[in-house]
Structure 1
Amino acid sequence: MSKVRGFEKISINQFVKDIKITESHLKTCYANYQVPQRGTAVSAGYDFYALQNITLQPGEQIVVPTGIKAYMQPDEWLAILVRSSHGFKYNLRLMNQVGVIDADYYNNPSNEGHIFVALKNEGNRTWQVKASQAFAQGIFMKYLCVDGENPVSQQRLGGIGSTDRRG
């Protein structure tokens, strides 16, 4: 069966490199965390789950590693958003407003396509999420191209922020 779109865990080597947890918890955490999934049959968003407890005081920000990479068709992208309940109740925001994961981010040579979520607590209450609780969501979407387009590069050369790099 060929892969169309979905989520995978990053490799254990990338996990060790990117996730800051104690050695004793590393293998257990890697074995037990789950790939994103939808909450109901008609949910658009796939919930991303925290690998460890996260607390953000008002005004604080954090970059959260998910341990996840996503594969999709060349004309698709994955939108990363905060869960609406966290935005409404806590004024939690993505630091880049919407995370844009391109199809060629998957398995890039820099970080395997590891998805990170940058959050900021813009509210006046402490925001907390426990390990294995959903904190963000991803929605697969199609995109369109303009006539006569000539992309700068045919291939991604790195990870986050690399689409404007020339090879």
Structure 2
Amino acid sequence: MTRGFEVVSSYADKGLHLPYRTTKRAAGYDFESAVDFTVPSIWKLDFLRILWAIRHQENVPEETQAKAKKILKPFLIPTGIKAYMGDDEVLILANRSSNPLKRSLVIPNGIGVIDADYYNNDSNEGEIFMQVLNFGLTDAKIAKGDRIGQGIFMPYLTADNERKPQQKRQGGFGSSGK
């Protein structure tokens, strides 16, 4: 088996679908939400008030800065899926084109990167989560089975003169460093 998807053990009997391509020439595999999930609107969380405070104060209090960081912290929608691939491949997670239009959801860093060594890691078995922010005026309701993102397998290149990494992945999400 070269590359593909599996359901993580904690969702084994939950009736999840493996990611799939919807059309013959689609590059991306659609990922579905493993659970019902609500992504609150940033506006509901006093984003405008915090933005105004930051804009109009020279020394922004730490409390205001902390609130801003909390409001803009992405929500993680579980997929219940893990991906395996070759050592020289990566799974790129991307937004679906309909998410900003229909749900006002965006991936805050533009894409997600799932490395080959994320698969079956000790921390979370390699479960893939979609990171999202909701810039809409109302909360976004996600139902189990709704398509929330897509993944594209890609090969990658390394530099000829790189210092070969010696570190082995020790955990899941965000475990490769700051």
TM-score range, shorter chain: 0.7 to 0.9
User: In structure 1, what residue type is equivalent to 2:119?
Assistant: Y
Percent identical residues: 43
Name the structure 2 match of 1:36.
Answer: 19
Task: Normalising by structure 2, report the TM-score.
Answer: 0.74
Deviates more, 1:81-90 or 1:105-114: 81-90
Distance 1:123 1:143, change over 3 A: same
Long gaps (5+) in structure 1: 16-26
Name the structure 2 match of 1:50.
Answer: 33
Alignment counterpart, residue 160 of structure 2, candidates 147, 158, 161 = 147
Within-5 A mapping of 1:1-167? 3-12=1-10, 15=11, 30-59=13-42, 61-164=74-177
Distance 1:52 1:158, change over 3 A: closer
Structure of higher RCO (CA pairs closer than 8 Å, 6+ residues apart): 2
Q: Is the 8 A contact 1:79 1:101 kept in 2?
A: yes
Q: Give per-residue Cα distances to partners, 1:101-150, cap 9 Å, x unaligned.
A: 00010011111111111211012344233211211111111111111111
Secondary structure in 2 aligned to 1:4?
Answer: coil
Long gaps (5+) in structure 2: 46-73
Q: Give per-residue Cα distances to partners, 1:4-38, cap 9 Å, x unaligned.
A: 000001113xx4xxxxxxxxxxx7xx341111111
Q: CA RMSD in A?
A: 2.0
User: In structure 2, what residue type is equivalent to 1:143?
Assistant: Y
Higher strand share: 1
Q: Give per-residue Cα distances to partners, 1:33-86, cap 9 Å, x unaligned.
A: 111111111111111111222233421752111111000011111111221111
Q: Which has the larger radius of gyration?
A: 2
User: In structure 2, what residue type is equivalent to 1:145?
Assistant: T
Distance 1:5 1:38 in 2: 14
Task: Normalising by structure 1, report the TM-score.
Answer: 0.79
User: In structure 1, what residue type is equivalent to 2:160?
Assistant: D
Name the structure 2 match of 1:22.
Answer: none
Secondary structure in 2 aligned to 1:104?
Answer: helix
Aligned length: 148
